Amino acid sequence: MKRLLSGDLPRSRVLAALLLLILFALAGAPFLFSGARSLNVAATICVFVLLAGAYDLLLGYTGIVSFAHTMFYGIGAYGVGLALNGMGPSWWSVLAGLLAALLLSSLLALLIGLFSLRVKAIFFAMITLAVASAFGVLASQLSDLTGGEDGRAFKVPPLLQPEFRLTDGEFLGRAIDGRIVTYYLVFFVALALFLLLLRLVNSPFGRVLQAIRENEFRAEALGYRTVVYRTLANCLAALLATLAGALMALWLRYVGPKTVLSFELMTDILLIVVIGGMGTLYGAVVGATLFILAQNYLQALLGSTAALFSEVPLLGRLLHPDRWLLWLGLLFVLSVYFLPTGIVGKLRGKSP
């Protein structure tokens, strides 16, 4: 287990139990929870763990604030989606779209890194925001290619289609169809890439990134070319975000600007990393799980609670399901205020 986690153990019994609970729940989601919604929530958590973990490599380990993370996520989704739409539902289409997306993401990340990482942090953040905004506008206006605001729906390879049956019988009371095959593809790829990312941040390369985060001038004085390391971190995070986008496209069988390129998605990723705990990677697991669960079930929970307090006018209105975003925002403000090092930092006993 220590080797599998690259020597970076949870260092907290509560955190270890929480991570194991999340792992087993995601691993058995198709058989533990009923309904299409629960499976969609589990798949989204898997993708966002990878997406937030890649962003934590930038923000938590290197100290880079970038608003272009969703652009690379969108490139991965559009690459696979447009290839499947134009070339047909085959694995060759998936491979061609993925390779094209990874190449484009690498070039853009390299250009952004080389031309922007020499400037101060706030200017770099603004440059990435401008590039991401321009890409989002481009995706919306190239309607002949991308479908514009409506996006593109497409078919996936036969193995991943809902009507596919792996076996004639059932396993644990459920037929093994294409949706379950797709889910486990998303789950195992996300898990493997997360473990690879965990190995990366605990390598000598990851320690240099942390040194740059703590004191860039001292790292430079020790002989490390900080611009090179920061550019590499930017490229690696971009590639992982691209892979996360490709997984989401295969799961949704649809790609559109509001789904993979919106600024709201960028703020969601930032919240996940901050609330889970920056510079831990495990924070991406805990943060993504709590955030996606809150997004999907907080409204229903408020509806049940409001019914109990229906006779109390003010409280009943405050607990109305339509105000779930208010409560979600309040919960996050309180968590950031009382847990400045994030949930994982608190469980590990880190002080701010």
Q: Is residue 5 part of a domain?
A: no
What pLDDT does 140 receive?
Answer: 86
Q: What is the mean pLDDT of residues 61-88?
A: 92
**Structurally, how many domains does the chain consist of?**
1
Q: Is residue 4 part of a domain?
A: no
Q: Is residue 110 part of a domain?
A: yes
Q: Is residue 219 part of a domain?
A: yes
Q: Is residue 22 part of a domain?
A: yes
What pLDDT does 285 receive?
Answer: 94
Band of pLDDT at residue 213, cut at 50, 70 and 90: confident
What pLDDT does 254 receive?
Answer: 93
Using the predicted structure, report yes or no on whether residue 117 has a pLDDT greater than 70: no
Q: Is residue 298 part of a domain?
A: yes
Using the predicted structure, report yes or no on whether residue 350 has a pLDDT greater than 50: yes
- Hey, what are 31's tokens? 């058989």
- Hey, what are 19's tokens? 């991570």
**Is residue 278 within 8 Å of 342, Cβ to Cβ?**
yes
- Hey, what are 28's tokens? 């058995």
Higher pLDDT, 273 or 176: 273
What pLDDT does 237 receive?
Answer: 94
Q: Is residue 292 part of a domain?
A: yes
Task: Give the predicted TM-score (pTM) of the model.
Answer: 0.92
Non-local (6+) Cβ contacts of 103 within 8 A are none
Q: Is residue 226 part of a domain?
A: yes
CATH number at residue 331: 1.10.3470
Mean pLDDT rounded to a whole number for the chain: 86
> Torsion angle of alpha carbons 298, 265, 37, 301, nearest 10°?
0
Instruction: State the residue range of the domain holding 189.
Output: 13-347
